[in-house]
């Protein structure tokens, strides 16, 4: 299932998380892990979270903020068919035009 985003996704920095917004819709985020209850110790790494076009949730853990952001950008690009910095749009400049598709049964 592919869906269109209203605008190009942009990162917005927050206090404990960074949101990946397309217009007024948050399509992804990365953030610090929660603290262990009753202590000042927190778990390691960063969490990435993406909400797909079908409202399905995708979560992953990463050692670096950069890795988590790259995962969110790539997954949003795949789910919503949007070019991302990690996966740029294919370029056709200078390439020969592709032949039109042939109907089945003709040779």
The confidence score (pLDDT) of residue 88 equals 54
- Radius of gyration of the chain from Cα atoms? 19
Does the pLDDT value for residue 30 go beyond 80? yes
**What is the full DSSP assignment across 43-82?**
-SSEEEEEE-TTS-EEEEEESSHHHHHHHHHHHHHHHHT-
Q: Residue 31: in which H helix or E strand, if any?
A: strand 25-31
Handedness of CA 100, 80, 20, 62 (dihedral sign): negative
Q: Which residues pair with 19 in a beta bridge?
A: 12, 29
Q: What is the pTM of this model?
A: 0.67
Q: Which residues pair with 2 in a beta bridge?
A: none
The confidence score (pLDDT) of residue 1 equals 46
Mean pLDDT (the chain, rounded): 78
Share of the chain above pLDDT 70, in %: 64
For the ranges 6-15, 40-49, 80-89, which has the lowest average pLDDT? 80-89
Q: Output 15 or 72, whichever has higher pLDDT.
A: 72
């Amino acid at each position: 299932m592919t869906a269109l985003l209203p605008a190009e996704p942009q990162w917005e920095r927050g206090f404990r998380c960074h949101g990946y917004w397309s217009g007024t819709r948050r399509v992804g985020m990365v953030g610090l892990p929660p603290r262990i209850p009753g202590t000042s110790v927190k778990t390691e790494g960063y969490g990435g979270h993406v909400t797909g076009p079908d409202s399905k949730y995708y979560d992953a853990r990463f050692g670096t903020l950069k890795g988590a952001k790259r995962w969110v950008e790539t997954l949003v690009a795949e789910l919503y068919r949007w070019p991302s910095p990690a996966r740029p749009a294919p370029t056709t400049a200078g390439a020969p035009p592709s032949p039109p598709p042939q109907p089945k049964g003709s040779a």
